[in-house]
Amino acid sequence: MENFLATVQIRTEKILTYRKIKKLRQKKKQQEKNPILDWIEAFLWAAGVVLLINQYLFQAYQIPSGSMIDTLLVKDHIFVNKIIFGPELIPGRMKIPSVIKPERYDVMIFESPTYISKGPVFDIFQRILYMLTLSLIDIDKDENGNPKPHFLIKRAAAVEGDSIRFVKGEVQIKPPGFEEWIDESYFHTISGLPLTTRRLVSPSDYENIRASAFVDAYSNSNLNMSNEALLKLASSGNTNGDMFAWMKYRNEALYTINPQDRRYGVLWRKFESGWYIPKGWLMPLGDNRDNSKDGRYFGPVSLKNVLGKAMFKYWPVNRMGKIE
């Protein structure tokens, strides 16, 4: 028994001595370490943590435009849930699939279908720098120094199975199982959802918009517009507040002028009839409908391009809160 206790004591002393020597060596090594290298090591470690959180969990974004007023204002800083719809393994590449899909009226971040990439190396570097600086530095700018629309933030106004169209700037939806078109405002009422949209164009402006589009179509066809009423409307009031409606009316006029050119007829009917949203897609629209380049101009967006759900505003402090 005495031999056993002696053995335990000796081994315990060895372990404690080893641990003490190890701590002394680590302390000495730390003291001898170059403070600059120590700072670089700490910075890289912190940067790696920030990058991992931004890439796979929550990412910081800065709102670049007024397309989501009043829900989100220009220069609002927000956090986006990246894991909910499946994060990318590396920035801009290999998205992990998720069983959770965006729901109707979710505010989400997605890759712009109209964005022209400068190449995978630039994209990855830009994304990493953007994430490391919590959206403060964005090197992807246009010739005027403004951030390029690589990522857009909009609301999922229609989801798979819906049909959606636009009548004088107002959204009409035909969800699965419905036979009639439903105004968006009424759909919000029966769904118990708040109406978040904002309009800058009034219903009375659409006469001027239509007249302006017809006059432009006649002018570009080298024809004189003889309708004095249309000419008067085209020169007064708000004539370009809803560019989507203006383009629809212009194609209608061009088809009237050139009925033999089916191209104009197809474009006009496309504007008139709207879109059916297939499985795996959604239609994104800005809350500030008359100041938003959204799905009306580039069509539905694949769920593969949806990067996350907008969750929380963290700056400025007076606007801090949940995004709905």
Within a domain: residue 91? yes
Question: How far is 80 from 152, CA to CA, in rounded Å?
Answer: 12
Question: pLDDT tens digit string along 51-101?
Answer: 777 777 888 888 988 999 999 999 999 999 999 998 888 777 778 888 899
Within a domain: residue 251? yes
Going by C-alpha positions, the residue among 170, 238, 176 that lies closest to residue 210 is: 238
Same structural domain, 123 and 265: no
HEC secondary structure over the chain: CHHHHHHHHHHHHHHHHHHHHHHHHHHHHHHHCCHHHHHHHHHHHHHHHHHHHHHHCEEEEECCCCCCCCCCCCCCEEEEECCCCCCEEECCEEECCCCCCCCCCCEEEEECCCCCCCCHHHHHHHHHHHHHCCCCCCCCECCCCCECCCEEEEEEEEECCCEEEEECCEEEEECCCCCCCEEHHHHHHHHCCCCCCECCCCCCHHHHHHHHHHHHHHHHCCCCCCCHHHHHHHCCCCCCCCHHHHHHHHHHHHHHHCCCCHHHHHHHHHHHHCEECCCCEEEEECCEHHHCCCHHHHCCEEHHHEEEEEEEEEECHHHCEECC
Going by C-alpha positions, the residue among 174, 245, 184 that lies closest to residue 213 is: 245
Same structural domain, 297 and 250: no
Q: What is the pLDDT of residue 154?
A: 96
Within a domain: residue 155? yes
Question: How far is 176 from 162, CA to CA, in rounded Å?
Answer: 6
Q: What is the pLDDT of residue 182?
A: 92
Same structural domain, 154 and 284: yes
The model carries a pTM of 0.79
Which of 69-83, 128-142, 264-278 holds the top average pLDDT? Answer: 69-83
Answer whether 76's CB lies under 8 Å from 63's CB.
yes
- Which residues constitute the domain of residue 262? 205-270
Domain count along the chain: 2
Question: pLDDT tens digit string along 182-198?
Answer: 999 888 888 888 888 99
Within a domain: residue 263? yes
Instruction: Give residue 265's Cα distance to chain centre.
Output: 32
Same structural domain, 152 and 287: yes
Within a domain: residue 15? no
Residue located via tokens 């998205």: 95
Q: What is the pLDDT of residue 64?
A: 86
Tokens representing residue 190 in the block: 């029966």
